[in-house]
Amino acid sequence: MRTIIVDLAPKDVIKEDLDDRLSELENLVNTYWSLVVVKKVQRKDFPDYKTFIWSGKLEEIRILADELNVELIIIGNILKPAQIFNINTYLRKNKSKAQAWDRVDLILNIFDLHTVTPEAKLQIELAKIKHMWPSIFHMWWQELSKQWAWIGTRWRWETNIEIMKRHLREKEYKILERLKVYKKTRSEHRKSRKRQDFKTIWVVGYTNAWKSSLMNVLTKKWVLSEDKLFATLGTSVGKVFIDDWNLWQEFLVNDTIWFIRDLPPELIKAFLSTLEDSIESDLLLHVVDASSYKIEERINIVDNILSKIEAVQSRIYVFNKTDLLTFEQIEELKIKFNHLNPVFISAEEKIGIKELKERIFKELNRESLSNF
């Protein structure tokens, strides 16, 4: 699918930050199996009230889309429902074949494309419903259209919007009921692990930190590892054995979805049931791309999301991709992030894995070790 990506950024944003935003947006589009043919940026300190992108730039993009046979226009920001509605109305009025999505629409469709498990499919469906709620209030052109509908024990004259709202409420209720079954099953599994004193670890990180590569090294279990955002959906579980230095322990590792800037709240809420296993884990591994120049910002983004979902367990900061850094750069990071007490590794080159396992063992057995 041929795609134009558009970003609106304040005039004082530096080029490096803008390039990073566009690169991340393009990666999202690639994950949706689409091809970016044009990148456009509008430098404005505030968006247009009606269409977010200002009218002159919007017309320029529409003309380009028609000339290049573009099917999709992605605005790399989170728009109000009325704004994305107005953009698509403008495109239809000008007989353009292109459709406009904002960042939330794109991420939801990526999740829908890559979701495999029945539970994850239900969660994405639930997130889409929550995303649709505000949008239907702007479908004013259907307000006048009415039809008879059987509700309860009688027929009632309803607008199409009322019918849609009722349908979505019913659908949401059915999905929540089905998700309760999965939730109960996972709860029983957690109780079983606790009875067996089976320790669990949750691996989290900002996109492109190669946490799936670390998962592969730790568990010897193949997990999809590629340079695509949200390539990992749902939860992947593997076992890890620590048998170095006369230490022996077996524990479970949960690998869940990537975190990313401006992750829509409805997505976090939709996946909370899946994340329950992870939130209740004994230890958290926060994998960081040590080669990123925005390392501090990305650590803060992940930590903020963890705070929102009340993940408060002990954590180890794992600075990955050290094979891409010089000795001097690593030493600088050790000084700058000394307060985090990170472990430096390269999952790709299997550097620092023994040190990481030793640290994991100490964290999981801190209480018992302190008694000696």
What band does 364 get if pLDDT is binned at 50, 70 and 90?
confident
Beta strand 146-151 with 154-159 is: antiparallel
In a domain, 190, yes or no: no
CB distance 359 to 316 below 8 Å: yes
Q: What does the chain come to in residues?
A: 372
* CATH code of the domain in which 320 resides: 3.40.50.300
Query: What is the pLDDT, as a whole number, of residue 160?
Result: 66
Number of domains in the chain: 3
Q: pLDDT digits over 5-50, tens only?
A: 999 999 999 988 888 889 889 988 998 889 999 999 999 999 999 9
Alpha helix stretches (DSSP H) within 265-326: 265-270, 272-279, 295-308
Which residue among 49, 84, 110 closes a domain?
110
Q: pLDDT digits over 140-189, tens only?
A: 444 445 554 555 555 455 666 677 777 788 888 998 898 888 888 877 87
Q: pLDDT digits over 263-295, tens only?
A: 766 667 666 666 776 777 889 999 999 999 889
What mean pLDDT comes out for the span 234-238? Answer: 56
What mean pLDDT comes out for the span 209-237? Answer: 63
The structure tokens listed for 313 are: 């367990």
Residues 163 and 204 in one domain: no
Taking residue 69's Cβ as centre, other Cβ atoms within 10 Å add up to 10
Q: Which of 22, 139, 128 is nearest to 75 (CA)?
A: 22
Query: What is the pLDDT, as a whole number, of residue 99?
Result: 95
What mean pLDDT comes out for the span 318-330? Answer: 96
What mean pLDDT comes out for the span 238-248? Answer: 60
Residues 270 and 323 in one domain: yes
pTM exceeds 0.95, yes or no:
no
Residue 224 has pLDDT above 50, yes or no: no
Query: Which residue range(s) make up the domain with 153?
Result: 116-185
Which residue among 132, 150, 185 closes a domain?
185
